[in-house]
Structures are given as C-alpha cells and as structure tokens.
Amino acid sequence: MGSIVQFIAADPDGLLPPAAQVKAALEILSRRFPIATDICVTEHDTVVLIDCGEDLMTVRCPSCGADLLEDRRWQQMMDSAWEAGMRHRSFDLPCCGVNHALEDLAYDWPMGFGRFSLDVWDPDVTWFLPDGRGDATQARAILKELGTTLGVEMQAIWRHL
Ligand SMILES: [Zn+2]
C-alpha cells in the first residue's frame, strides 16, 4: 500500500516561503527520501484541509474531549468555514460552547490546515506514522532541518493511499 507524507507549516495561514528556500527544502527531501516516487510542492489560493484520509478516527474538542465526528458536527463546521473562504475557522463548539479554531481540534490521526505543502509520494519509511510505529527521532530531525531551511515551523501529515 502506498503513502504520502505532506509537510505543512505549523501556521495554517503561512504562505509558501521564497523560491530559493523551497528549492533547498526539496533538495533535503530528495536526500532524506531517495526512493520516493515523486517530491513536489502544492500551493493553494486559500487555506485547505491537509487530510489523513481513511485513518481519521476521531476529531475531539480540546476542552471537553467530545468527538465532533459524531452527528457530523465537524463536517458541518468544515462546510460553513469552506463557504466563508476558510478565513473564519473558529466556532463556539456544539459540545461545550468553548470557542476553538478548526486547526486547534485534536485530530486522530493527525490532520492539518495550510496554504501549501511539500509532498513526498511513497517515501517507503514509517518515520511519520502517528500510531506508535513511527521513528520520532528521524521525524523530529527532518522537521527541524526543513523548518530551519524554510524559516517556518513545519509539521508532517501522513496518509495511506
Ligand atoms: Zn467541547
């Protein structure tokens, strides 16, 4: 089974860094993932969901722990944010009324939001698997190197294909 690792900025509104830095980051990824089938940059006009696909099990409220996937509550908030161009992403949550942004909810497996991603197709490594099989040391080292090169804090989103 194939997979993709998408590297995104920790700040969802963060724009793609300058071309020279992106080029350097792609070179790092080529060196770190020598057998990947493709390594590319994806840029979006607005903030988009960088999703983990079928491995999404829960979307929890950080305040009360309620699972917002139940009754499609998370999907409704996503729809309404999307209709507003993803500029207003904070809601008084239906579970406990506390206001949180979509990107601050607890996604399991992890998902993220961003204006761009650096995508590594079929990296054939398990370093970024969020289910305990990952190699946290490798993952941290790569995220640190990317962050330093791009000048922004980065995170990784894993998806099975
Ligand atoms: Zn809640």
- The pLDDT tens digits of the residues spanning 118-151 come to 999 999 888 888 777 778 888 999 999 999 999 9
pLDDT of the residue at 101: 97
- pLDDT band, residue 63 (cuts 50/70/90): very high
Ligand 1 center–CA 64 separation, angstroms: 4
Percentage, residues of the chain above pLDDT 90? 87
DSSP β-bridge partners for residue 61: none
Between the alpha carbon of residue 42 and those of residues 37, 95, 125, the distances in Å are 16, 34, 21
Q: Report the pLDDT value the prediction gives residue 127, as an integer from 0 to 100.
A: 84
Which residues sit opposite 42 in a β-bridge? 117
Give the distance (Å) from ligand 1 centre to CA of residue 93: 6
Give residue 89 CA to ligand 1 midpoint distance, Å: 16
Q: How far is the CA of 137 from the centre of ligand 1 (A)?
A: 33
The CA 110 to ligand 1 mean position distance, Å, reads 18
* Nearest 10 degrees: Cα torsion 16, 20, 26, 32: -120
Query: How many Å lie between the centroid of ligand 1 and the Cα of residue 22?
Result: 38
Q: What is the pLDDT of residue 17?
A: 97
Give residue 73 CA to ligand 1 midpoint distance, Å: 11
Cβ count within 10 A of residue 79: 11
Distance 96 CA to ligand 1 centre (A): 4
Is domain 1-56+110-161 classified as CATH 3.30.70? yes
Give one DSSP letter per residue of 77-110, joined into a string. HHHHHHHTTTS--EEE-TTT--EEEGGGSEEES-
Please give the DSSP secondary-structure letter assigned to residue 55: G
Q: Ligand 1 center to residue 129 CA distance, Å?
A: 27
pLDDT at 1 over 80: no
| Ligand 1 center from residue 80 Cα (angstroms) | 18
Tally of CA atoms within 13 A in the half-sphere of 150 that contains its CB: 30
The gap between the terminal CA atoms of the chain, to the nearest Å, is 7
CA of residue 104 to ligand 1 center, whole Å: 12
Tokens of 109: 């497996």
> Which pLDDT score is estimated for 132?
73
Q: Give 77-127 pLDDT, tens digit per residue.
A: 999 999 999 999 999 999 999 999 999 999 999 999 999 999 999 998 888
Tell me the C-alpha distance between 78 and 100, whole Å.
13
Q: Taking a C-beta distance cutoff of 8 angstroms, is the pair 9, 114 a contact?
A: yes
Domain boundaries, given as residue ranges, for the chain: 1-56+110-161, 58-108
